[in-house]
């Protein structure tokens, strides 16, 4: 809270850049340089004694390296400092058990990215209804797709400004993600109704009031056929390659086309998630979801050689569907959108919500007849209906009964933190 009645809010906005081939080559080179700086910093950090692992020592090392190594000068100085701060923050997240330890960034498996940490360097300007201009250090003025009003010109000020940006490249090209900070009035408490949400397969999001949010396949039939053809072509081209031989340019182009179709599907999925979660946050004051352990849900059923699993192919198909729905990302969106609209988000334990009848609160074997149908086998009840709606009502009932969510476990082990933590930390 910065001022009376105002709250500080930070969010991002992503837009597509329109780069020329020459500009794309320059930006690719800067991103690869940033990745190399990360790897050199990681190696330097591991070699130093614990008592010398400090942010000041790392900053001095990077400044000296920029004076002595020619190719490091291709990276803007502020971007190099951003790499250092990101690396140090990664270790802090590990020590606080919020993430795993930083690792070496491989060239082919690491997405290209670059930071512009200071908003004043961007000089954002709107030049057309559909296009804007942004200044990128050591690259110049670049057009980007204008899809949202940004705090530039008369709209900018102390209460609303762009504080920086991050350039990211995916299969669809380079994009810029603006970091925006605003001061907004504290939202009034949302007076909407309470609702429980069940994330499922038959109905992606089923609500306790009977509402369901569906979506079509992310790719059209023509695009799905094209993706299947490209995957078969890639498999054939890969089989023709001799062991140890480098990947051909033709195979790389096939991989790029596959990645482009998958990126298009992900973009459509994100758009559906944003629209759906915004609708829920605006309509309901209290949103209750399951505290799902997705990592345990998508474990393979293959088993071991001594004890092989059963229905491995079916479980693999289910795991792919669960990954494709991205339930965790939906919950993250609901968390900040409900807060923005004055509502609240609560998590309740997930076990039993899909097997228990919400009407009589009993769990009877065989009640979940199919993925979409629930028929209570309790002779005194006999309720029947949609299985996902039944689970959503159980989720809401668990919240009203006062069940607290299970504690979240960290991903960085105690041994890793003890080995990596320098004596000067914290």
Q: Is 369 one of the annotated active-site residues of the chain? A: no
Question: Residue 4: enclosing H or E segment and its boundaries?
Answer: none
Structure-token pair, residue 250 = 């033709």
202: CB partners within 8 A, 6+ apart: 371, 372, 387, 388
| Euclidean distance between CA atoms 220 and 197, whole angstroms | 28
CA distances 61 to 41, 46, 165, Å, are 9, 14, 25
Per annotation, catalytic residue among 51, 149, 198, 221: 198
Strands 113-116 and 6-18: unpaired
| Euclidean distance between CA atoms 311 and 301, whole angstroms | 7
Q: Is 170 one of the annotated active-site residues of the chain? A: no
> For residues 389 and 197, is the Cβ–Cβ distance under 8 A?
no
What is the DSSP annotation of 203-271? SSEEETTS-EE----SS-HHHHHHHHHHHHHHHHHHHTSPTTPPPPHHHHHHHHHHHHHHHHHHHHHHH
CA distances 10 to 3, 178, 340, 342, Å, are 15, 10, 11, 16
> For residues 169 and 111, is the Cβ–Cβ distance under 8 A?
yes
Q: What does DSSP assign to residue 35?
A: H
Structure-token pair, residue 285 = 């004051």
Residue 344 three-state SS: strand
Per annotation, catalytic residue among 59, 229, 245, 388: 388
Q: Is 24 one of the annotated active-site residues of the chain? A: no
Per annotation, catalytic residue among 43, 59, 103, 290: 290
Residue tagged 């299969």 (tokens): 171
How many beta carbons lie within 10 A of that of residue 38, not counting itself?
A: 20
Structure-token pair, residue 191 = 């007076």
CA distances 1 to 155, 333, 337, Å, are 22, 22, 18
Residue positions annotated with a catalytic role: 198, 290, 388
């Amino acid at each position: 809270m910065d001022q009376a009645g105002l709250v500080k809010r930070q969010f991002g906005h992503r837009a597509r850049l329109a780069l020329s081939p020459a500009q794309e080559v320059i930006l690719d080179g800067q991103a690869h340089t940033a990745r190399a700086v990360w790897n050199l910093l990681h190696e330097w950090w591991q070699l130093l004694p614990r008592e010398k692992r400090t942010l000041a020592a790392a900053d001095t090392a990077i400044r000296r390296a920029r004076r002595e190594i020619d190719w490091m000068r291709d990276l803007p100085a502020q971007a190099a400092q951003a790499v250092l701060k990101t690396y140090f923050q990664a270790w802090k997240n590990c020590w606080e058990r919020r993430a795993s330890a930083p690792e070496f960034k491989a060239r082919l498996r690491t997405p290209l990215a670059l930071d512009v940490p200071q908003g004043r360097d961007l000089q954002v300007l709107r030049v057309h209804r559909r296009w804007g201009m942004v200044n990128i250090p050591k690259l110049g003025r670049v057009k980007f797709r204008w899809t949202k009003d940004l705090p530039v010109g008369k709209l900018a000020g102390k209460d609303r400004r762009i504080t920086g940006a991050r350039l990211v490249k995916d299969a669809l090209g380079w994009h810029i993600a603006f970091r925006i900070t605003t001061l907004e009035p504290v939202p009034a408490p949302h007076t909407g109704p309470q609702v429980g949400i069940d994330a499922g397969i038959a109905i992606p999001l089923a609500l306790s009031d009977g509402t369901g949010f569906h979506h079509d396949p992310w790719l059209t039939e023509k695009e799905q056929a094209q993706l299947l053809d490209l995957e078969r072509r890639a498999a054939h081209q890969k089989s023709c390659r001799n062991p140890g031989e480098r990947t051909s340019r033709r195979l790389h182009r096939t991989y790029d086309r596959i990645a482009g179709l998958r990126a298009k599907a992900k973009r459509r999925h994100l758009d559906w998630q944003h629209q759906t979660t915004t609708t829920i946050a605006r309509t309901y004051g209290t949103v209750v979801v399951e505290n799902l352990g997705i990592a345990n849900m998508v474990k393979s059923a293959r088993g071991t050689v001594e004890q092989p699993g059963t229905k491995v192919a079916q479980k693999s198909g289910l795991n792919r569907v669960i990954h494709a729905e991205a339930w965790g990302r939906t919950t993250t969106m609901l968390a900040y959108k409900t807060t923005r609209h004055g509502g609240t988000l609560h998590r309740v334990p997930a076990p039993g919500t899909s097997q228990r009848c919400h009407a009589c609160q009993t769990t009877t074997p065989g009640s979940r007849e199919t993925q979409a149908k629930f028929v209570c086998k309790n002779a005194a009840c006999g309720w029947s209906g949609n299985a996902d709606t039944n689970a959503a009502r159980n989720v809401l009932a668990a919240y009203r009964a006062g069940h607290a969510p299970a504690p979240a476990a960290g991903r960085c082990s105690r041994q890793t933190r003890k080995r990596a933590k320098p004596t000067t930390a914290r």
